[in-house]
Structure 1
Amino acid sequence: MKSAVETLSPTRAKLTVEVPFEELKPSLDAAYKKIAQQVNIPGFRRGKVPPQIIDRQVGRGAVLDEAINDVLPKKYIEALQENDLEPLAQPEIEMTKLEDNVVIEFTAEVDVKPEITLPDYDGIAAEVEDIEVTDEDVEEQTKALRERFATLTDVERPAAENDFVVLDLVALQDGEVVPGAEVSGMSYQVGRGGMIDGLDEALVGLSAGEEKTFSSQLVGGDLVGQDVEVKVKVTQVQEQELPAYDDEFAQLASEFDTAEELTADLRERLGRGKRLEQAAAARDAVLEALLDKVEIPLPEGLVADELTARRQNVEQQLAMAGITMEKYLEDEGQTVEEFEADLERRVRDAVAAQFILDEVAKKEEFGVDQNELSQHLVRRAQQSGQDPQEFANHMFAHNHIPELVQEILRGKALAAIVEGAVVKDASGNVVDLKNLRPDGTIGEPEAEAAEDAAAETESVDAEAAEETTEA
């Protein structure tokens, strides 16, 4: 086999592959055997039809098609390896020559990883915001805790913001009840949002026994986005009463004896959370600073596919939350054009980051062992709310392990870059990045220890994982 590569762009290559006919012989023999099992020809037993009879009765072209379909993927992969190309998508293949008993030739155009000249990534400087736990932050946490122990009391007055109501609701279209859009006896906090646009405005001012009809659009189901009439009736109005924040409450809601001790603990927890947020921001700032150091050509096909996938993911999450895209953009203060531009920017940064982290991992000669893969499998399963063993089985069965290995390698590359960086907050203090895991994610040490323990108790297919990560 002979192959040659033509660079069409920094991210696209064209392979020309020439295969001598003798290298096609095993596939031709297999094609004749396969067709012999499929045809009925008088005078011959199934599977025993000679090649020359198949050529005459079925046609040589059918045999060649079968053989070429078998050999072409193998030769394509050989050509990629021979020319040291890393494909990013399925190729566009075209047969350019077919001379029976002489040679076949085909071309393959494919998006490939661009060549990157790594900049110096040791000692990258970056800056993040200061950590500040305000009294308002603490008060918000204490209020949330008090709300968990709040009581509801019926009141004989119109419903107001933050009141709870018990309601019956039905959506109608052309006078008919919309299937699945009818509830009764549901408790709802006025002003909470997340159900149907216009509901909160309709509830304010309604007393028990009163009802109101308003127009809205459904955010789920077969009629999503369509106009409907919504009829809501209030059967109870309830006022939320929060317990006093005192020592007695502290003993009820926590392991502390005094409200002062509980407040100090809440402040400390908020501080830990903000330190994690700061570490994550530091990681992102370092990566952004690195990307600013190098120009990385991006395959437009890959960017377009990723953009579509992310857009669909956003739409699915909004649908699950019962929020329309229009409402989301209104809340974010964005136009559709601004949303699309921001999404594309983030996708391009993400794709560029993958390329550069892959190169760093290759340069540093990072590897992945069985324990690291097991921990990553468990972490990914927990993130998706799945059983670790079932998640692992699915990953192995669908050959997704190489993708997980690549994720770990990228995380190691990012962790190495961040470890060598100098990150300061706005006040000039060096940021502590001790909570950066080896895979590049952020986590508290105690949480990481718990995950490690879980990884040890969950058995994944060790042999298959070792085969995957041997290299």
Structure 2
Amino acid sequence: MKSAVETLNPTRVRLTVEVPFEELKPSLDAAYKKINQQVTVPGFRKGKIPARVIDQRFGRGAVLEEAVNDALPKLYQSAVQEGELNPLGQPEVDITELKDNETLTFTAEVDVRPEIEIPDYSGIEVTVDATEVSEEEVDKAVEQLRERFATTTVVERAAAEGDVVKIDLEARVDGEVLADGVAEGVDYTIGSGRMLEGIDEAVTGLEAGGTATFTTELKGGSAAGREAEVTVTVQSVSARELPEPDDDFAQLASEFDTFGELRDDSRRRLLEQKKYEQATEAQEKVLDALLELVEVPMPQKLLEDEVETRKHNLVNHQLGQLGMDLDGYLQMQDKTAEEFDAELKEQAEKGIRTQFVLDEIAKREKLNVSQEELTEHLMRRAQSSGMSPDQFAKAVVEGGQVPMLVGEVSRGKALATVVESVTVTDTNGERVDLEDEESAGETVQAQSGDEQAPAEGEQKAGS
């Protein structure tokens, strides 16, 4: 077999492959055997029909077609290996010549990973928020904890901000009650902002048995994004009482004996959260700065496929679970279809560039993924997907997506390597020494768009 590679552009090549006919013999034998099992010829036992009879009765062309279809994948893979190519996606194959008992010639066009030069990135400098915790933030955290332990008492008075009302709701669009627009016995804290816009004004001042009607835009359900007339009826009004911020509360709400110890623990938790957010911010900014330094040719077919995959997952999975269609989503986001498509393309392009660049760094730095690292990443992915680790692992293996997870871990390590090499300072001018936070891999996936359920993931740029 002879093969030649023609570079069409930095991300696409054409393979021309010429195969001597004798190399097709195993596939020809397999074709005759397969046809033998499928047809019946009077005078011959099934499976014992001579090749010349099959040629006469069914045509040599049918045999050749079966043989070529069997041989092409293996011949293509051999040509890819011979050309030392890194193909992306499926090739477009064209048989240019097939001479019986002489030669088979075909071409295969396919996207390939572009050659990427990684410049010196040690000069990157980024600034991130400082990890300072104010007393006001500690107060707010403690207040939120007190809210969790609040008690309620039914009162015979008009509802006011902070009260908990038990309400019935009925939503109408164009005068018709929605099938999913009726709810009864819903508890709602006035002023929490956790329900429909306008509901706070509607229920404030109502006593038990009181009814009010208001107009609002629905955020979910079958009529998401549409204006509805909502009738709310108050079943009861309850006053909320927060526990006193003292040692008794500390013992009730935590493992600490004193309120002072509880506050110190709240401050510590806030500081840990800010350090995590600081690490994530640093990774995002370093990644953006790195991408600015590297020129990455974009395979157009791969980009088109990635955009289509992202759109499919959004419409059929994320929005579908919310009972919303794309038109409703665009209306809620106040975007046109053109703006949405442009944004999706930009995100997809950045995701592909991120994968290419970090994969190249991982290759250059010889970053390997251990079984322990893969297991830890799988556990985090399982948690974020809502599946048990065993369920997630089974789905990953059955979907053939272990290489995808390995790529995610590898890119996370590559990003961590870059972050360790650059200068990160906080808004106070202090040098930030970032440890290898777990958020590194999550940042990479957020940029590349790979964070999805195993059944839906597709190996593309990361394959």
CA contact (8 A) 2:88 2:113 kept: yes
Aligned-pair CA distance for 1:94: 2.0
For residues 88 and 69 of structure 2, what CA distance do their matches in structure 1 show? 21
Alignment correspondent of 1:249: 249
CA contact (8 A) 1:209 1:233 kept: yes
Alignment of 1:12-91 (within 5 A): 12-91=12-91
For residues 180 and 157 of structure 1, what CA distance do their matches in structure 2 show? 31
For residues 68 and 197 of structure 1, what CA distance do their matches in structure 2 show? 65
Identity %: 52
For residues 73 and 197 of structure 1, what CA distance do their matches in structure 2 show? 59
For residues 438 and 263 of structure 1, what CA distance do their matches in structure 2 show? 27
Residues 190-217 of structure 1: CA distance to partner in whole angstroms, max 9, x if unpaired?
4545655655554444432133445566
CA contact (8 A) 1:220 1:319 kept: no
> Which region of structure 1 is more displaced relative to structure 2, 85-94 or 155-164?
155-164
Aligned-pair CA distance for 1:296: 1.0
Aligned-pair CA distance for 1:246: 2.3
What secondary structure, in the 3-state scheme, does the structure 2 residue paired with 1:407 have? helix
Change in 2 beyond 3 A, CA 1:136/1:109? farther
> Partner letter of residue 281 of structure 2?
A
CA contact (8 A) 1:128 1:423 kept: yes
For residues 168 and 56 of structure 1, what CA distance do their matches in structure 2 show? 80
Change in 2 beyond 3 A, CA 1:160/1:109? farther
Aligned-pair CA distance for 1:380: 2.2
CA contact (8 A) 1:194 1:321 kept: no
Change in 2 beyond 3 A, CA 1:201/1:335? farther
Name the Cα RMSD after superposition.
Answer: 3.1
For residues 14 and 148 of structure 1, what CA distance do their matches in structure 2 show? 64
What secondary structure, in the 3-state scheme, does the structure 1 residue paired with 2:169 have? strand
For residues 58 and 154 of structure 1, what CA distance do their matches in structure 2 show? 87
Aligned-pair CA distance for 1:271: 0.8
CA contact (8 A) 1:31 1:66 kept: yes
Residues 338-394 of structure 1: CA distance to partner in whole angstroms, max 9, x if unpaired?
666555444333221211111111112222333333333233222322222232222
What secondary structure, in the 3-state scheme, does the structure 2 residue paired with 1:110 have? strand
Alignment of 1:155-166 (within 5 A): 155-166=155-166
Alignment correspondent of 1:459: none
Alignment correspondent of 2:447: none
Unaligned runs of 5+ in 1: 443-471
Alignment correspondent of 2:333: 329
For residues 308 and 83 of structure 1, what CA distance do their matches in structure 2 show? 30
Alignment of 1:306-325 (within 5 A): 306-311=306-311, 316-317=317-318, 325=329
Alignment of 1:451-462 (within 5 A): none
CA contact (8 A) 1:172 1:230 kept: yes
Residues 28-60 of structure 1: CA distance to partner in whole angstroms, max 9, x if unpaired?
111111111111222222222222222222222
Alignment correspondent of 2:267: 267
Alignment correspondent of 1:412: 413
Alignment correspondent of 2:355: 354
For residues 264 and 345 of structure 1, what CA distance do their matches in structure 2 show? 44
What secondary structure, in the 3-state scheme, does the structure 1 residue paired with 2:90 have? coil
Count of equivalent residues: 439
CA contact (8 A) 1:377 1:388 kept: yes
CA contact (8 A) 2:165 2:187 kept: yes
Change in 2 beyond 3 A, CA 1:262/1:113? same
For residues 294 and 87 of structure 2, what CA distance do their matches in structure 1 show? 22
Residues 297-319 of structure 1: CA distance to partner in whole angstroms, max 9, x if unpaired?
12233333333444555565466
Aligned-pair CA distance for 1:400: 1.0
Alignment correspondent of 1:187: 187
Alignment correspondent of 1:374: 375
TM-score by length of 2: 0.84
> Partner letter of residue 288 of structure 2?
E
CA contact (8 A) 1:195 1:322 kept: no
For residues 143 and 321 of structure 2, what CA distance do their matches in structure 1 show? 27
Alignment correspondent of 2:365: 364
Alignment of 1:116-265 (within 5 A): 116-122=116-122, 124-172=124-172, 178-193=178-193, 199-200=199-200, 202-214=202-214, 230-265=230-265
What secondary structure, in the 3-state scheme, does the structure 2 residue paired with 1:89 have? strand
Change in 2 beyond 3 A, CA 1:226/1:69? farther
Alignment correspondent of 2:448: none
For residues 161 and 93 of structure 1, what CA distance do their matches in structure 2 show? 69
> Partner letter of residue 29 of structure 2?
D
Aligned-pair CA distance for 1:144: 1.1
For residues 322 and 132 of structure 1, what CA distance do their matches in structure 2 show? 41
Change in 2 beyond 3 A, CA 1:225/1:287? closer
What secondary structure, in the 3-state scheme, does the structure 2 residue paired with 1:18 have? strand
What secondary structure, in the 3-state scheme, does the structure 2 residue paired with 1:90 have? strand
For residues 20 and 377 of structure 1, what CA distance do their matches in structure 2 show? 47
What secondary structure, in the 3-state scheme, does the structure 1 residue paired with 2:354 have? helix
CA contact (8 A) 1:19 1:104 kept: yes
CA contact (8 A) 2:225 2:329 kept: no
> Which region of structure 1 is more displaced relative to structure 2, 12-21 or 320-329?
320-329
> Partner letter of residue 260 of structure 2?
E
> Which region of structure 1 is more displaced relative to structure 2, 37-46 or 157-166?
157-166
